[in-house]
Structure formats: C-alpha cells, structure tokens
Amino acid sequence: MTDTAGTGEDAATTPFEWDHFLQLAEEWSVDPRQAVLRSAISRAYYAAYIPACNKNLAKRNFNDLAREVRRRNPKAGSHDVTWGAYGVSGQRLSRRVSELGQRMKDRRIGADYEDETMFRASHQLVRATINDAREVIKSLRVL
C-alpha cells in the first residue's frame, strides 16, 4: 500500500494507534450535531477498550479472571468480561478501571443504539467520556 495521506508512512505496515480515536473524539466534541457527538462517545470508548482488552490478554491469569466474571454473570459478553476482569482482580486501581470502563460502555451503548427518546448526547457527556477514557489509558500504563 502506498502513502496516500502524505505522512511518509506505509499504511499497510504502520500499526494502528488507538489513541488516535481519542484525538478524533476531542475534535468532534465541539460539533453540535447529534451524530457527531454520539460518534465521539463511541470513539473515546474504543480508545480505552482496545488497550484494556489487549492488556488483559497479556495477563497470565486472564482466563481465571474471565471465568470468575462469567461465573458471576453467565451472560457477560466480551466487553463485560474485559471490564469485569479488572473489577475482580483485587487491586484498587484495577477496580477503578472496571468502574470507568462499565460507565463508558453504558454511554457507548446509548450513543450507538438508543434513539433520541432514550439517549441524548451532549458536549458534557462527550467530555466526561473522553476524561474517563484518558484516566483508563493512564491507569493501564501502571497496571
């Protein structure tokens, strides 16, 4: 693949940086359109979710943590397992990551799936989601 963005890098060999989603959410956070605000919430969520998921997969005891999450909630999906594994790990910072992740996930579901009678995105909600994502990303660096 050739350099089509003028960056001097080959897009096929350059790894994707998930924090670019957070940068995009920042840019979109000032736009007044609902579709853009909802998309900003979703991008901020995934900027934190994918690194959290990858960090979990690198843990030796992740399978044990995932089993415990599924024991507590047999219907837990992959997102619930990812955030839940931080919650059952026992460390205070991990539990905070779990709490923030679940809160962002709830917002992302609202932004992605609920109509305007159930969910209304606002600049404040986007800002809160971006701040939560930043805190999760920062916490992952020390866990």
- pLDDT, position 62: 87
Per-run averaged pLDDT (10 residues), the chain, 143 residues: 51 83 97 96 98 89 90 94 92 96 97 93 96 98 93
Residue 32 φ/ψ, nearest 5 degrees:
-80, -10
pLDDT given at position 9? 58
State CA 67 to chain mean position distance.
Answer: 21
Take residue 129 and report the two structure tokens written for it: 């989601």
For residue 13, what pLDDT is reported? 73
pLDDT value for 132: 98
Q: Where are the domains of the chain?
A: 19-59+99-142
pLDDT confidence of residue 6: 53
State residue 115's pLDDT score.
93
Residues 142, 106, 25, 112, Cα dihedral to 10°? 140
Q: What are phi and psi of 34, to 5 degrees?
A: -55, -45
DSSP per-residue string spanning 12-66 = TTSPP-THHHHHHHHHHTT---HHHHHHHHHHHHHHHHHHHHHHHHHSTTHHHHH
Residue 52 and residue 140 in contact, taking contact as beta carbons nearer than 8 Å: yes
Residue 75, token pair as written in the block: 């219907």
